[in-house]
Amino acid sequence: MSPARDQSPQGRRRPLVSGNWKMNFTHLEAIQVIQKLSYALDRGPLATVEVSVHPAFTALRSVQTVLDADEIPVALGAQDVHWEDKGPWTGEVSPPMLAKLGVRYVIVGHSERRQRLGETDEQVSMKLRATLRAGMTPICCVGETAEQRDAGETDQVVLGQLGSALEGVAPAEVATMVVAYEPIWAIGTGRTATPGDAGQVCATLRREVGERWGAEAAAGIRILYGGSVDERNAASLLAGDDVDGALVGGASLDPVAFAAIAAAAAAATA
Ligand code: PGA
């Protein structure tokens, strides 16, 4: 992926607003949602903000067809991937399968997969590297539980997850990647981190990238905030210098709300 594509005309990192549709929408429903989103998105902000949608595997092909046919400037994303290219893995989907469909972004290590489906740090790391190998961009999720936060362990937890996920990844590739800071207690709960806390953790993550992978990687990597982002709180959550956009769950199911979040991200960078 060319770094230039991810820079706004001013040379700042181009914000990314990603809609994680989770286990919602049949492929027919997804077609309607993407068409409504296309109407709702103001093409103006899209010059400075990149938008991606992450349908379920069953809807990827349909959404990709609509995006292509109508030339909708929204990137196609997946919610997960396997780390092997092919083989005896019943039910899994491989990186080349997604790349061939035109998928550009792949969420890896979402807390729902880590916590509810037992995904390990090692698997997250393998998925991340497999995504890069196939020419796609990982959106690597990190985040602490409420207990870890109360115990003052937020930095330690998110830096541990980051270090393990990015182990062995070259600095030039780290520069093209996306990390999403998603405090687990804020996901789907209506509770958000304060803009100050979100900005601080994103800054801590960027500092760590700088220390371990160098200044260029730190300047290039995009760090998103996720966890109950909606059209009302997006502007303040995305205002921090180190917050390069949002990973949006619930509010991304409503095309009008999601478009408003994209517009808020554009305004935050203006
Ligand atoms: P939420 O989900 O916006 O519904 O909290 C965010 C996510 O899980 O990525």
Nearest in space to 3 (alpha carbons), one of 211, 179, 214, 221: 221
Q: What is the pLDDT of residues 104-131, one digit of tens each?
A: 999 999 999 999 999 999 999 999 999 9
CA neighbours within 13 Å on the CB side: how many for 153? 11
Catalytic residue check, 110:
yes
Ligand 1-lining residues (CB < 6 angstroms): 20, 182, 187-188, 226-229, 247-251
When mean pLDDT is compared across 42-46, 146-150, 243-247, the lowest value belongs to 42-46
The length of the chain in residues reads 270
Q: What is the pLDDT of residues 135-147, one digit of tens each?
A: 999 999 999 999 9
Residue of 110, 119, 144, 173 marked catalytic: 110
**What is the distance in A from the centroid of ligand 1 to the CA of 249?**
3
Closest residue (by CA) to atom 9 of ligand 1?
Answer: 249
**What is the distance in A from the centroid of ligand 1 to the CA of 248?**
5
Round the average pLDDT of the chain to a whole number and report it.
Answer: 94
**pTM, entire model:** 0.95
The CA distance from 157 to 136, in Å, is 26
The CA distance from 43 to 40, in Å, is 9
**What is the distance in A from the centroid of ligand 1 to the CA of 182?**
8
- 250-to-61, 66, 244, 267 alpha-carbon distances in Å: 22, 22, 19, 22
Nearest in space to 262 (alpha carbons), one of 24, 22, 75: 75
pLDDT at 44: 74
pLDDT at 149: 94
Task: Say which CATH superfamily domain 15-21+51-79+93-269 falls into.
Answer: Aldolase class I (3.20.20.70)
Catalytic residue check, 182:
yes
